[in-house]
Each structure stands twice: as C-alpha cells, then as structure tokens.
Structure 1
Amino acid sequence: MVRKKGKLPGPTVSVAYTLEYGTAEAEVQEDSVSPGQKVILIDDLLATGGTLFAACELMKKLRAEVLGCLVVVSLKDLSGADKLKPHTVFPLIQY
C-alpha cells in the first residue's frame, strides 16, 4: 500500500513528487515487496500522473518490477499516462 507520508506504521521508504498545485511525499513500508517481485499498481484516478509516478519510483527503490498500472478512471486530456512511460497504463474508463 502506497500512502501519503506519515500514514503507515513501521520503517518506510519515501519519495517526493510534484503535483500540479505543489509537492508531496509518498511512502511504502520497507518490507511490502521483495527485490525482483512483480507488481501491478492500482489507483482510482489518473490525471497528471504524479501520484502513480511516485508509486513507480517507490517500487524502483525497492527493486520490484512494475508490470503495469491499472486505473479505474483516466483523464486522457491531462496526459498522465505519458509521465508513466515505459510502464503500460490500463484504464477501465477514459474521459
């Protein structure tokens, strides 16, 4: 589970990222994935891609392999999927 900084218990790994209105930090528990583990990241909304990009960066720090990103809704005019390349984005709905 990737959360905003300070929301998870135990030792964590964090990454700073930019949003369209400022900056934020996301973190994941250090033992949430193993090196080489294959993961698919799931998010509810893909807009500019900042949050999901941060999740990809966290997986990279933990040396996990991101197979792709699944999103419920993608706002395609905001081009968030472009920020996530080379990862493939699988939206359920696009607006």
Structure 2
Amino acid sequence: MQFLVISRRLTEKFADTDFEPMVPLEGARARELYSAGFTRQIWHRGDQPGACQIVEAEDIDAVRKNLATLPLAAAGMIDFDIIPLKPYAGFNP
C-alpha cells in the first residue's frame, strides 16, 4: 500500500542551529529507506522546511515505524501527516 507523507520541521520549538547537525544524518537515513524500497519518491517542500514523500508499506503502523527511524523524528524535531492512498478510479471505464 502506498502513503503520502508530509513532514514539517518543528521550527516553532527548535532553532535552525538545532537542525544543522542533524541534516547529514537525516539524509543518510533517507537514502537507506529509499534503498530498502520504503521511500519511492521524495521532494523538499517549497513552502516551509520539510519534505513530501510517497512511501510503500504493509500498513500505517509500518509507515510510522520506518519514519521513527529518521533522526529528526527520533529527536522529536519533525511532525508527519500520513495519508493512505488508493488507486484513482477515473482511469477505469
């Protein structure tokens, strides 16, 4: 099953200097999740610090478990909206 994950850095609780040392670690873990087939596509957000990604997992609990391994999530510095996706019916006659 695929999910849309929208993340947002908690900039109201943490300063830019708090995020700086975490960014390389976050990128490394994101690459691991991509290599493992969990993350299918990922983008930086254009409106605020954070990312949007399409992920694939058996269920929402598996999504939460994988996202929790990201350093910013483990540090409580990021928030996620997780949206389950289903096929678009408009392409079926």
Pick the structure with greater CA Rg.
2
Structure number having the greater strand percentage: 1
Give TM-score scaled by structure 1 length: 0.29
Query: Which structure's relative contact order is higher, taking Cα pairs within 8 Å and 6+ residues apart?
Result: 2
